[in-house]
Structure 1
Amino acid sequence: MSDITFSKEEKALIVRKIQGYFSEELNQQIGQFDAEFLLDFLSKELGAYYYNRGLYDAQAVLNAKLEDVQDAIYQLEQRTEFRR
């Protein structure tokens, strides 16, 4: 897995969200530099956990779709004297 990176616009939005959280929930002001530093830390240290969870969720969706495809193929199968 490569490092998790965000575009300039995405990072700015996330930084504002971090600042808003600190202000509203913790009643503390946090500057842009500190919020960016926190975002970088969280991305580096925790990002892989969220990334992996996303992969697991995607795999579960894909497996469900593959089961649907297998069922559809089974329904198309014609009866013959051969058994599986």
Structure 2
Amino acid sequence: MADFKLDKQRNKEALERIREFFLEETGTRLSDFKAQFYLDFMLEEIGEFVYEQALADCHALMTDKIEDLFLLEYKKKR
């Protein structure tokens, strides 16, 4: 998978959430560098799974909506 980068605002929010998680769960305060390291690791290692699931969910939703359109067309012809 190609490099997955967050825009600056989303990256900042993700880092804040990672810091909060580590502080609440382990009592550890993470530096900016360490939080970014964990975020980069997660995006690299599990980002692909999240991306693929999002595509599958979107595909299922779009398929349902297209089927609804065909049903409308079918009802109109009757």
Same fold? TM cut 0.5: yes
Counterpart secondary structure, 1:9: helix
Residues 20-79 of structure 1: CA deviation (Å, up to 9, x unaligned): 00001222121110010110011011000000110011001101101101101111124x
Task: Count residues in correspondence.
Answer: 78
Q: Distance in 1 between matches of 2:66 and 2:76?
A: 15
Report sequence identity in percent.
29
* TM-score where L is the length of structure 1: 0.85
Q: Distance in 1 between matches of 2:42 and 2:13?
A: 15
**Runs ≥4 in structure 1, deviation > 4 angstroms?**
none
Residue 24 of structure 2 corresponds to: 24
Residue 4 of structure 1 corresponds to: 4
Q: Distance in 1 between matches of 2:58 and 2:10?
A: 23
Q: Which amino acid aligns with 1:39?
A: L
Counterpart secondary structure, 2:29: coil
Identify the range of structure 1 (50-59 vs 21-30) with the bigger mean alpha-carbon deviation. 21-30
Larger Rg: 1
Q: Distance in 1 between matches of 2:14 and 2:28?
A: 17
Counterpart secondary structure, 1:12: helix
Identify the range of structure 1 (9-18 vs 44-53) with the bigger mean alpha-carbon deviation. 9-18
Unaligned runs of 5+ in 1: 79-84
1:2 offset after TM fit, Å?
2.9
Unaligned runs of 5+ in 2: none
CA RMSD of aligned residues (A): 1.2
